[in-house]
Structure 1
Amino acid sequence: MTTREILTIQLGHYSNYIGTHWWNLQESNFTYDPKHPSEINHDVLYREGENTQKQVTFTPRLLLVDLKGALGYLSEQGSLYNTADDPDNHLLWDDTKLEITSAELSPRTPFIESLNKSNETVETGSFNFENDVKSWVDYTLPLFHPRTVTVIKKYLHNCTQQSFNIFTYGRDLWTTEQFSDDFSDRIRLYVEECDLMQGFQVLMDSTDGFAGLGASCIQHLRDEFGKSILTFPCLDFNNAEPSASDLIKIVNTALCWQHIGEYSSLYSPLSCGQVGWPFGADSRKFQNITYSPELKYHSSAILATALDTLTLRYRTKRYPNASLSDLCADLNKLGRKATATSLNLPFPMKVKMDLIDILDEFEGPLWTSLTPSCDISMDNNMQSIVLRGISEDRIKRPIHEANKQISKPAYKCSSVHEMMTFYLACTCHASATYLSNIEAPLKLSLPYPKIFNNNVTENGNIAEWPIGADVNSVAVMAGMHSGNSIAAMYESLLKQTKRIKSIKKFHAFTDSGLEEDEFTECVHSLADCKEAYEDNYI
């Protein structure tokens, strides 16, 4: 089977939180049983290699960027290839005449320490991730290829004196020869390893300097490779009191969306906040989940779960010809490149109930939006939906046990895919839906947060009484939607952006090269996008 590879790029601290959970989920869902092979083609996002000891390695096809001081104990070269211990790695100078200045490494969390003690039994209840996790490296499972991690040494993480908080700072960084040449080479090396590359997935923070860096990177990808680019600009939930810095974040976000809308094939903003701006607002609610949205460790896990599921469309073995370009072509009709992301976690498969009954009695929206200032309607959408974790024997009762089920029109459906397609056709008025599904549920293991309510069973079913068990797997539904509801997202951002009468009041932007005309053009671009989604879409 030919693999159509994808390179993933993560730019920014919160994006790396999300990405870390995403890679952790993939590693937790690897299947090594030859009698029950995985339905997922992991080679799409992973690469096979060989380390210096001639051992076969399987690492994410990934490039990630963060600021100095954000990596804690993690080496920029990773630990998989042990380049520091390579006997062929000789210094070209006299090390006795060097003055070495070193900073003390950040301590490893108990969970990270436990990964190195494979022979010892570790009590899972002994980890307190909510208090221990200070950075995404504190719960990272995969080992990285030496070219994966890039550290921006000019800016220090959580530094207030010289913050990397302006769009143009990131854009200027890309133009520096030191960064641009090195990062471009890393991209090129990954691309040249691929046999039939289908494109790029980009996660990027959209409220700080990584917005500008990401916009420049995406422009480079489009100009150099001409492949499909799926971008997820990410906004961390923030319920702090409004401040002057909120307007800076709004300008960064507006500029970000303008540029990625121009250069990406498709993009979908991600946040656990109901409203992205101003930044003090309520979080998204899920019926069977209780989480702390202000904890990056929690909110990023929810966003990563959506990403891992919705991207199955072009990562499954069942649909080997399904590609990232197909997804983009389905949803970016007439140049409308923005989409909303949805999630249903866990998909409410009730104990001892069949899918036909669950869908028949379902009330309310089928999904929760993970796109800020956008509540996704059930109607008038172009949408790509993925459902995982419902086995074929859960759709209906056999005919001799069917009772009332046999009178329902959906009883004639003979598969999960057929029944779900029928349900969506009946409930989503004037919508065009591409549905993908796999039977395997999403397996959950540490360090995924324990956010499920106590009525969720071990295998993710919903009970009417407290269970109190650790949830090991769940059914999940996630999707991407393009429709009229996107207009509200643009309108909300446009309203906040128009509060800024002149960009000249923000000296950090003008001093770093942002012209008044460029900002005015950005505002006009947002207005044009809003109007495009207000039309009769279908």
Structure 2
Amino acid sequence: MTSREILTIQLGHYSNFIGTHWWNIQETNFSYDSDSPSEINHDVLYREGENLKRQVTYTPRLLLVDLREAVGYLKEQGTLYDTSQSEEAQQSLWDDTKVEVLKGETVNKSPFIKSLNESSEAQTPTSSSLSLENNINSWVDYLLPRFHPRTLNVIKHHKHDGAMYPFGIFTYGRNLWNTEQFSDDFSERIRAYVEECDLMQGFQIILDSVDCFAGIGASCMQHLKDEYGKSIISFPCIDSKRTDPSASNMIKILNTALCWQHVEEYTSLFSPLCCGEAAWPQIGDSRVFNHLTYNSELKYHSSALLATALDTLTIRYRRKEYSNVVLSDLCADLNKLGRKATATSLTLPFPMAAKADLIDVLDDFEGPLWTSLTPNCDISMDKNMQSIVLRGISEERLKRPISHAMKQMSKPAYRCSTVHEMMMLYLGCTCHASATYLSNISSPLYIKSPYPKIFNNNITETGDVIGWPIGTDVQSVPVMAGLHSGNDLSAMYESLHSQLSRIRSIKKFHAFTDSGLEEDEFNECLNYLLDCKENYEDHYI
């Protein structure tokens, strides 16, 4: 089977929190049972290789960038490709007594990572005895996969909150990309991955949008568009952790606006992500999920929700059954009329009542079907172009057989013979004037440590909703996620423009002007937000 490969790029600390959960989820959901093979083609995002010991490796086709302080114990060259022999050979070339050796501080591993290394079984340790929430300082503290040597890219001369080399300005990131050392090395790593692919379909990029990584991401996307001309889908992310009001809020707003302006220019499709209802001037209340209890102040929690949404909605172009459905199809469906921005939705878990069929669940369902994960944007059920993916509902739970159907037979949906057909009927009846592309697979999302324990105690082991507390660990859940393009995004652009227009002159923000941002560029950004607001307004007579 031909694989249409995709290269994933993660830029920034919070983006790597999301990416780590995403790769963990994928590895947890690998199927090694030949009798029930995976419905997902993992070769789209993973690459097969061979290390120096001629052992077969299977690693994410991934490039990630973060600061030195965030990568902790990880080695830049990874651990799969042993270089100890070559290091010993190098050491023999000089006199050790005449060499001064400088050693950095020892970086401690989290208890979870230590338990992984100490485990003699090829299993993920349970977190019952490990309080992950209290031991997660960085994304490396719960990382399951092992990386290819070219995956990790470390920025060594900056700190997130450093006074001497700050990393919170969009133009700083753009200038860093323009340095020959960074751009040549990173571009070469991209080229090496691309040349390995047989039939590449494009790139997916997760990037922090409130700091320097936004500038790196914008320049990277420009490079990808100019050099490769493939489809690019990007997800600018905002951490939902609240902070006290300060002048840095306006800097983050300006970074976000500049990020979106350039992302919209260079990508095929993009969707901002945040677990807060609002993201400016400060983070608002956290998004509510009926059957979840999570702490949006913890990157470890909020990033798990965003990663679950990404893992689910990207199944559309990762399925084995329809290998001809690719990323460019998704982009072409949703970026009509110059609308490249979309809103991301998540339904976790999809509310299947215990011992109930899908036909009854949909018939009794009240309220919105999904929760928005895009800031300052609530997704309505009407007038959308949308791509939705549902996983975890098997055909056996569609409806009862005729001999036991009873009241189900009186419902029009009883004539549906597949989950896909019934869901399309439901969406056609509830999402008026919407064009929907629905993908579905029967396998649920399998939940294992280090996925956070955020499900309420009325969720069964298999993800069903019941009316009383059961207190069991959730092992799998049905999930629905989607991308939506509609006039609801107009409010997002309007609110961002309203906040950014409070800046009367960019000259007051010396860090931006000193690093190359001009007044005309700032005004162009303001006009861009206003144009997008008007572009997403639908005027129906």
- Fold match (TM-score > 0.5): yes
Quote the residue 2:192 is aligned against.
189
Quote the residue 2:113 is aligned against.
112
Residue 230 of structure 1: which of 225, 233, 244 is its match? 233
- In 2, distance between residues paired with 1:94 and 1:250? 53
Distance 1:31 1:503, change over 3 A: same
Q: Does 1:358 align with 2:361?
A: yes
- In 2, distance between residues paired with 1:537 and 1:442? 40
TM-superposed deviation, 1:105: 2.5
- In 1, distance between residues paired with 2:39 and 2:408? 30
Mapped contact 2:385–2:434 kept (Cα < 8 A): yes
Quote the residue 1:140 is aligned against.
143
Root-mean-square deviation over aligned CA pairs: 1.5
TM-superposed deviation, 1:348: 0.3
- In 2, distance between residues paired with 1:160 and 1:301? 31
Mapped contact 1:330–1:382 kept (Cα < 8 A): yes
Mapped contact 1:237–1:279 kept (Cα < 8 A): no
- In 1, distance between residues paired with 2:283 and 2:437? 35
- In 2, distance between residues paired with 1:134 and 1:186? 28
- In 1, distance between residues paired with 2:479 and 2:249? 34
Secondary structure, aligned partner of 1:126: coil
Mapped contact 1:198–1:325 kept (Cα < 8 A): yes
- In 2, distance between residues paired with 1:221 and 1:377? 33
Quote the residue 2:345 is aligned against.
342
Secondary structure, aligned partner of 1:203: strand
Q: Does 1:170 align with 2:173?
A: yes
Mapped contact 1:201–1:229 kept (Cα < 8 A): yes
- The equivalences for 1:389-428 within 5 A come to 389-428=392-431
- In 1, distance between residues paired with 2:338 and 2:260? 14
Quote the residue 1:90 is aligned against.
90
Amino acid at match of 1:37: P
Quote the residue 2:78 is aligned against.
78
- In 2, distance between residues paired with 1:386 and 1:213? 31
Q: Give me the identity figure in percent.
A: 69
- In 2, distance between residues paired with 1:79 and 1:85? 13
Secondary structure, aligned partner of 2:536: helix
- In 2, distance between residues paired with 1:377 and 1:123? 39
- Superposition TM-score, scaled by structure 2 size: 0.97
Mapped contact 2:160–2:168 kept (Cα < 8 A): no
Quote the residue 1:326 is aligned against.
329
Distance 1:123 1:438, change over 3 A: closer
Quote the residue 1:21 is aligned against.
21
Secondary structure, aligned partner of 1:124: coil
TM-superposed deviation, 1:536: 4.1
Distance 1:501 1:39, change over 3 A: same
Per-residue CA deviations over 1:499-520 (Å, capped at 9, x if unaligned) read 1111110100001110011000
Equivalent pairs, count: 538
Amino acid at match of 2:67: L
- In 2, distance between residues paired with 1:216 and 1:229? 13
- The equivalences for 1:242-281 within 5 A come to 242-281=245-284
- In 2, distance between residues paired with 1:521 and 1:135? 36
Unmatched tracts of structure 2, length 5 or more: none
Deviates more, 1:104-113 or 1:374-383: 104-113
TM-superposed deviation, 1:101: 1.9
Q: Does 1:375 align with 2:381?
A: no
Mapped contact 2:127–2:450 kept (Cα < 8 A): no
TM-superposed deviation, 1:157: 4.0
TM-superposed deviation, 1:535: 3.0
- In 2, distance between residues paired with 1:88 and 1:180? 31
- In 1, distance between residues paired with 2:294 and 2:362? 26
TM-superposed deviation, 1:259: 0.2
Residue 389 of structure 2: which of 361, 386, 390 is its match? 386
- In 2, distance between residues paired with 1:355 and 1:380? 25
TM-superposed deviation, 1:92: 9.6
- In 1, distance between residues paired with 2:74 and 2:190? 21
Distance 1:192 1:400, change over 3 A: same
Per-residue CA deviations over 1:315-346 (Å, capped at 9, x if unaligned) read 01111110000000000001110000000000
TM-superposed deviation, 1:76: 1.1
Amino acid at match of 1:124: S
TM-superposed deviation, 1:124: 3.4
Secondary structure, aligned partner of 2:90: coil
Residue 511 of structure 2: which of 508, 515, 519 is its match? 508
Quote the residue 2:312 is aligned against.
309
- In 2, distance between residues paired with 1:306 and 1:537? 31
Quote the residue 1:35 is aligned against.
35
